[in-house]
């Protein structure tokens, strides 16, 4: 298909080249609805793939563009990642309503359920914090490990939400939390009112006592990974839609890692709740800086109510190719 397209739109058949004007016309013919495809975007894509910057896209350059941008636009695959909607974050030991934000984590449940009812995803994945009793993040365990000299807070003076540095190799900067989501506990279970999609994927994180894992992909040091990325690749997922608890921790780091891994990344803001108001503000800024999109459940039609991937969303992916 890429060779045929090149031949039909090149100046001299298969031995020729595609000009920017021809490339714009080709994209307008391919992508519907046409009003989503801004000419400025198409021209930017052309310049990215026209490596010689001579205004003449060769067949090899067009093949690269087809493989990494045009084909994903035409064949989107989506996954919904539901992050840590667990009892302990809603009504248990780390309930968001008892954190500085005072927000109610239970409010995300009906929003996520409606998303699952209204929209079809190619894959739905749930993540769970799944901690051993001696986990490094628990305030009750702060005396079990030596404190690094750089730590501004001594272990005996530490309180919940404090940041302490443990004398590991390398040193571990750790926020301290109440014990939560203990393996096989009631608090670690997914909230009973949350819909569980048939054929879903379940990822458990934070299972090693010495490492915290906010992200559903990696631990906080990036030295260990879950199976989530491999599963998404196996299903040829192009875009991930992320929701859950908490916006300024596990949702944020899951989104940032998804973006680093090359997925189109969309955070569904009204299907999340935060631990602090300041964390909410800084997280929005950081997600924006890293080219993650933030939307609401009411605006999902912009990304899901079509057969063609949103070109602007696909465009974000080419930055990782150069």
Residue-level pLDDT at 132: 97
* Residues carrying CATH 3.40.50.850, the chain: 78-135+180-306
CB 254 within 8 A of CB 84: no
Torsion sign, CA atoms 130, 134, 139, 145: negative
Tokens representing residue 183 in the block: 């393996």
Residue-level pLDDT at 227: 95
Residue-level pLDDT at 318: 47
Nearest to 279 by CA among 223, 206, 214, 208: 214
Residue-level pLDDT at 76: 82
Q: In Å, what is the CA distance from 74 to each residue of 54, 219, 284?
A: 27, 33, 29
**pLDDT per residue of the chain (322 residues) written in tens, 0 to 9:** 455 656 665 655 445 788 888 888 888 777 755 555 667 778 888 998 998 889 999 888 988 888 878 887 777 889 999 999 999 999 999 999 999 999 999 999 999 999 999 999 999 999 999 999 999 999 999 999 999 999 999 999 999 999 999 998 889 999 999 999 999 999 999 999 999 999 999 999 999 999 999 999 999 988 999 999 999 999 989 899 999 999 999 999 999 999 999 898 999 999 999 999 999 999 999 999 998 999 999 999 888 876 666 666 666 554 443 3
The domain defined by 2-74 folds into Recoverin; domain 1 (1.10.238)
Residue-level pLDDT at 26: 83
Give the catalytic positions in this structure. Answer: 84, 205, 250
Residue-level pLDDT at 183: 98
CB 224 within 8 A of CB 218: yes
* Residues carrying CATH 1.10.238, the chain: 2-74
Considering the segment(s) 78-135+180-306 as one domain, its CATH architecture is 3-Layer(aba) Sandwich (3.40)
Nearest to 36 by CA among 321, 322, 303: 303
Tokens representing residue 149 in the block: 């000299």
d(CA 183, CA 131): 5
| Residue corresponding to tokens 């939560």 | 180
Residue-level pLDDT at 135: 97
């Amino acid at each position: 298909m890429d060779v045929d397209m090149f031949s039909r739109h090149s100046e001299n058949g298969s031995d020729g080249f595609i000009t920017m004007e021809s490339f714009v016309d080709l994209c307008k013919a391919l992508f519907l609805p046409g009003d989503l495809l801004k000419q400025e975007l198409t021209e930017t894509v052309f310049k990215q793939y026209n490596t010689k910057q001579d205004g003449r896209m060769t067949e090899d350059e067009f093949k690269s563009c087809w493989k990494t941008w045009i084909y994903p636009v035409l064949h989107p695959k989506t996954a919904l990642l539901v992050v840590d909607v667990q009892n302990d974050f809603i009504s248990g030991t780390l309930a968001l309503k008892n954190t500085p934000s005072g927000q109610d984590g239970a409010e995300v449940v009906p929003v996520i359920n409606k998303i699952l009812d209204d929209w079809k995803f190619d894959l739905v994945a749930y993540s769970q914090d799944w901690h051993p009793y001696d986990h490094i993040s628990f305030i009750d365990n702060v005396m079990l490990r030596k404190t690094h000299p750089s730590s501004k807070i001594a272990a005996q003076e530490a309180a919940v939400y404090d940041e302490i540095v443990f004398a590991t190799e390398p040193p571990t900067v750790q926020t301290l939390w109440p014990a939560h989501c203990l393996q096989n506990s009631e608090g670690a279970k997914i909230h009973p009112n949350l819909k569980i999609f048939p054929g879903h994927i379940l990822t458990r994180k934070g299972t090693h006592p010495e490492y915290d894992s906010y992200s559903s992909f990696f631990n906080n040091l990036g030295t260990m990974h879950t199976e989530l990325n491999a599963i998404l690749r196996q299903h040829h997922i192009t875009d991930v839609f992320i929701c859950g608890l908490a916006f300024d921790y596990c949702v944020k780091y899951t989104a940032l890692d998804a973006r680093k891994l090359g997925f189109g990344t969309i955070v569904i803001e009204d299907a999340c709740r935060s631990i602090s108001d300041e964390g909410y503000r800084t997280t929005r800024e950081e997600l924006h800086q890293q080219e993650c999109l933030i939307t609401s459940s009411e605006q999902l039609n912009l990304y899901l109510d079509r057969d063609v991937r949103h070109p602007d969303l696909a465009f974000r992916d080419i930055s990782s190719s150069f």
